[in-house]
């Protein structure tokens, strides 16, 4: 029961203190889950991000569910998921009650503009950290630039890009391993 409470509180803190949506939560997820709690490795967290991206829902909620499930099974997944979404639900209900009265205020508009800029920086930081761990060889760079180009210049759904990148990774590794074995056998 104690670990379920820890899962709930940890993810409630993440859900309550990050603004800007699922991607803005990535740096805090990384810090809490990998560095502070040691609930996952960097590689596992990147896998959770990838799977969370191609499944329905918000990436941070999906990631919380995966981590909770890893720790304590189905009940852990539920505790982590409830933790990450509870603060948002409460905040949204409060904001909804008051937003009509304050949305047009210039100060509120300026504050939201500042928050948007901060969120861009947080997302960039998360992407940069993930790139350092993911872009490890020429094949990874090739897949990265191809997926980035397809993402920017086509309307291909994200889940298809993720699945295609995964298949490309498998194919490239299989070809590389076969080439490596045949070169080793020929020596």
Q: What is the pLDDT of residues 89-132, one digit of tens each?
A: 888 888 788 777 777 888 888 988 888 888 888 888 878 888 88
- Residue whose pair of structure tokens reads 């720790």 in the numeric block: 71
Q: What is the mean pLDDT of residues 15-25?
A: 71
Q: How many domains does the chain have?
A: 2
Is 25 within 8 Å of 11 (Cβ atoms)?
no
Residue 160: CB atoms within 10 Å: 12
DSSP state letter for 25: G
pTM for the structure as a whole = 0.57
Cβ neighbors of 15 (< 8 A, separation 6 or more) are 25, 60, 83, 84, 85, 86, 87, 88
What angle do the packed helices 42-54 and 106-134 form, to 10 degrees?
A: 120
Q: Are residues 89 and 164 in the same domain?
A: no
Q: Are residues 52 and 99 in the same domain?
A: yes
Domain boundary among 110, 133, 156: 133
Question: Which segment, 28-32, 73-77, 87-91, 116-120, is predicted with the most confidence on average?
Answer: 73-77
Q: Are residues 129 and 140 in the same domain?
A: no
Check pLDDT > 70 for residue 153: yes
Domain boundary among 133, 161, 178: 133
Q: Which domain holds residue 122?
A: 2-133
Is 62 within 8 Å of 52 (Cβ atoms)?
yes
Q: Are residues 128 and 152 in the same domain?
A: no
Q: Are residues 7 and 40 in the same domain?
A: yes
Q: Are residues 52 and 122 in the same domain?
A: yes
């Amino acid at each position: 029961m104690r670990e379920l409470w820890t899962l709930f509180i940890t993810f409630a803190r993440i859900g309550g203190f990050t603004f800007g949506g699922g991607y803005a939560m990535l740096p805090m997820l990384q810090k809490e889950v990998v560095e502070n709690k040691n609930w996952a490795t960097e590689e596992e967290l990147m896998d959770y991000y990838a799977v969370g991206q191609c499944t329905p829902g918000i990436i941070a909620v999906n990631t919380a569910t995966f981590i909770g499930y890893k720790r304590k099974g189905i009940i852990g997944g539920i505790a982590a998921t409830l933790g990450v979404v509870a603060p948002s639900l409460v905040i949204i209900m409060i904001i909804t009650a008051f937003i009509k009265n304050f949305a047009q205020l210039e100060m509120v508009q300026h504050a939201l503009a500042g928050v948007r800029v901060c969120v861009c920086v947080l997302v960039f930081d998360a992407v940069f950290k993930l790139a350092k761990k993911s872009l490890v060889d020429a094949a990874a760079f090739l897949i990265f630039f191809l997926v980035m180009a397809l993402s920017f210049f086509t309307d291909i759904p994200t889940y298809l890009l993720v699945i295609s990148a995964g298949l490309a990774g498998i194919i490239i590794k299989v070809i590389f391993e076969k080439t490596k074995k045949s070169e080793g056998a020929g020596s």
